[in-house]
Structure 1
Amino acid sequence: MIGMSIFIYTYYKSNTYKTVDRSLLDEYHFISNQFDGDSILDKIILQDPKDIVYIYKGNTVKYYTQNRYFSDKYPTNGKIENGFYWEKFNGYNFRTIYFSENEYDFRIMRNIDSEKEGLSHMVALLIMTDMLAIIPGFFISKFLSNKALKPIENSWNNQVKFVQDASHELRTPVSIIQSKLEYLLKSPSSTIESEAETVAVAMREARQLKKMISELLSLTKEESIVKINKEQFEIESVFKELSESYTEIAEYQNKVFSYSINTKSRYISTDRNKLIQLLRIFVDNAFKYTNEGDSIDVSIYDRGRDKVQIVISDTGIGISEKDQKHIFERFFRSDSVRATDIEGSGIGLSISQIIIKTIGGNIKVKSKLGEGTRFFIEIPKGKIAKKL
């Protein structure tokens, strides 16, 4: 902006004085054609009445035009080279052209105070314009830079928090495994049978550590995904796959697992693998936080013309209203759950949140402590082929 203002000022100034110089040169030629050294008393007609003319012969003024700038004292003949000059007399600014012709020296002057004043006003106007442009421009650029840097800053803070949380969560099983192994080293005469419980605890923590590492890798992988593999498939095929995976587990744990499909269309178009991964996270949690005799149900309904809603409900231990605000945060586990033997890392629902955003849906939860939990997953139906 400042560069543009400098260019405008320079261009305007140059054109202004070039116009004055051309006018003075034309005036000189016009006067030169009229002037006759033998008849110096003849009045010379000027193209521009504002011009001031002095004609010298040596140091003597032979002809001049009346003006208000030199009433008492005439400017002397400087006898300088032909050309244009800047001059200042009695506080006035002039642009002057000098030309020598035969024995006469021509001095044609024009007051340029108005031009200088115009240029000063232009400078003030350009400065004011620049200030008006720079100040909001500064705040706009600051706002935009902050806006552009905010995702980077958030990403960095999330990464730092992720590393801190992951380090904290991984430290616990590692510490337990280490303490159990150290205990075994201090008891070399012990048999496997006598230390079966110690080995079992170490193995359980090793499995938990392996699961946590797997989930961390999955979380990192999901965050890097920007493209999904959409395909059209039967809704029932996904629910059958879930049923095959969890029916036996339900029987073993003395729980009831069921599903129902309540949609007009048999088909949906989305990323099938991600949908199954998403549902497995919630069904796994449902099995984890239910007791014997409890039930887990997965149902799907139409939600308007363009969406479906999948509801995963259970009759388990439920989630307190306070904890519901934090369940999608990484590594979050309520105090009541941490105090139990229920295994978990607090990463699963964080992964689900990333997956649902990837496939363009949303998740809501309704739960009451001691009465069970319902998760509502809304996703777009996608474009379904007419032939189906």
Structure 2
Amino acid sequence: MFKKTRIRLVLFNTIVLMVILSIFSLVLYVYMQHVIFLNPDNRLSEMSEQVKKRNLHEIQENNERETERRVAFLLWSSDKKLIKITPKKGLYTNDIDDFKPALSEGKTQTSQEVNGHAYRVMNVKNEGYIKDQDVSTIQLVLNVDPETQTLEHLAFLLIISAFIGLLLSLVAGLFLANRALVPIQKSWNKQVEFIADASHELRTPLSVMQTHLELLFRRPNHTIEQESENIYQSLNEVKRMTKLVGNLLTLARSDSNAQLLNKTVFNMGELVDKVANQFEPIFELKELHFTREIESLMCGGDQERLHQLCMILLDNAFKYTPSGESIHICLKKHHHSMTLIVRDTGVGIEAKDLPYVFDRFYRSDKSRARAEGGSGLGLAIAKWIVQAHDGEIKVFSQKNVGTEFHVKIPL
């Protein structure tokens, strides 16, 4: 799929760049053509004005310098026959017989090419400027071979540049396509991995439920009390699957920006203290040493989501802290933010696993996590909650020493 997409992006980028280069080259060529022929055209215009005021011989004597290319005057009759050319060496001798007669009149300049030589031509209708009655049109001709050669060199350079631009466009298109596909491919790989992990997590409780329900059908004469164990196991898997589906729904809504926060002003210290009270009996049963250091802080945020955040962090500490170890929770103000710290002296996390602890379904020890009832979504949800409150969450851990989560959220 990505191969075809990459080819399409390369072609699209190449076409776009080539169109831009082509338009730029065309504009440059037209502009340079205008600039190059501007001086010859102005000279023809000046000479045409002089024709109307003075005779040709006087113009030739007073205005032509040896260093200048001379303007040739071709006198045409009404039946398109060449009557005279002045000065006689104003055109190449071989070009005179092949020169086209005046086809239009006025001050517009046109170009003619005769025997490989280029000329700019301007026609002036004879309205008494020349006494000869046979002269119908005065044609002003100026050789523009240097200008034409300059334009030809420019066109050659633009063609070469376009060819080089095509190669560069392909390389640039391939580079841009690869860069554009990197986040898409990462997202796609994460989505595939997410679906595979979610399917695996859902398949486990479904398989357990199916097994226990089949056992019920095998013993239809048993009472509910006799089959209470199978029913209890099925209910546990239902609860586990319900929690998993709820977490998946939360993450799906966060991805689509459909999960809106219901922000209110409340006492964050009271909320953390309330969550700590809920966990304290559970910690005592596991013989964990639990301490707290909680300040009273007024906070603006989603109370339900921040409650969920505290639950996730304390539940995570509970699962991975053996009996006899300690857990500490701290809430304090730091400048214009509040800092929530959950520290434990549990099994810790290996350094290679630290960058991935907030990834969905990531667990360094999957068999242990399933035994503890985890699905690998809790910390991903915790990260989303923190980011939704414009905060940041960090984890510091050392294997067999302990783990510490730092949450910083603006007040």
1:168 aligns with 2:197: no
Secondary structure at the aligned position of 1:379 is classed as strand
Q: Which moved more, 1:207-216 or 1:79-88?
A: 79-88
Q: Deviations over 1:185-214 (max 9, x none)?
A: 223233434433333322222222122112
TM-score normalised by structure 1 residue count = 0.77
Secondary structure at the aligned position of 1:362 is classed as strand
1:10 aligns with 2:41: no
Structure 2 matches for 1:178-257, cutoff 5 A? 178-225=210-257, 232-257=265-290
Say which structure is richer in helix. Answer: 2
Q: 2:362 aligns with which of 332, 343, 358?
A: 332
Structure 2 matches for 1:313-324, cutoff 5 A? 313-324=343-354
For residue 10 of structure 1, report the CA deviation from its aligned partner: 2.5
Letter in 2 for 1:216: L
Q: Deviations over 1:200-258 (max 9, x none)?
A: 32222222212211222222234444865655544421222113322333345554433
Letter in 1 for 2:277: E
For residue 70 of structure 1, report the CA deviation from its aligned partner: 3.4
The aligned residue for residue 329 of structure 2 is 298
Structure 2 matches for 1:125-144, cutoff 5 A? none
For residue 164 of structure 1, report the CA deviation from its aligned partner: 1.5
1:67 aligns with 2:89: yes
Q: How many residue pairs are counted as aligned between the two chains?
A: 373
For residue 17 of structure 1, report the CA deviation from its aligned partner: 4.7
Letter in 2 for 1:213: V
1:375 aligns with 2:391: no
Measured at CA, do residues 233 and 137 of structure 1 come closer, stay the same or move farther in structure 2, by a change above 3 Å? farther
Q: Identity of aligned pairs, percent? A: 28
Measured at CA, do residues 63 and 173 of structure 1 come closer, stay the same or move farther in structure 2, by a change above 3 Å? closer
The aligned residue for residue 276 of structure 1 is 307
Measured at CA, do residues 290 and 85 of structure 1 come closer, stay the same or move farther in structure 2, by a change above 3 Å? closer
For residue 299 of structure 1, report the CA deviation from its aligned partner: 1.6
Measured at CA, do residues 230 and 141 of structure 1 come closer, stay the same or move farther in structure 2, by a change above 3 Å? farther
Letter in 2 for 1:5: S
For residue 298 of structure 1, report the CA deviation from its aligned partner: 0.8
TM-score normalised by structure 2 residue count = 0.73
The aligned residue for residue 386 of structure 1 is none
For residue 14 of structure 1, report the CA deviation from its aligned partner: 4.7
Measured at CA, do residues 66 and 86 of structure 1 come closer, stay the same or move farther in structure 2, by a change above 3 Å? same
For residue 91 of structure 1, report the CA deviation from its aligned partner: 3.4
Identify unmatched segments of 5+ residues in structure 2. Answer: 1-19, 127-132
Aligned alpha-carbon RMSD (Å) = 4.0
Q: Deviations over 1:264-319 (max 9, x none)?
A: x844555544332211101112223345544432123455x344443212344444
Q: Which moved more, 1:136-145 or 1:188-197?
A: 136-145
- Rounded to whole Å, the distance in 1 between the matches of 2:318 and 2:104 is 104
Secondary structure at the aligned position of 2:196 is classed as helix
1:366 aligns with 2:392: no
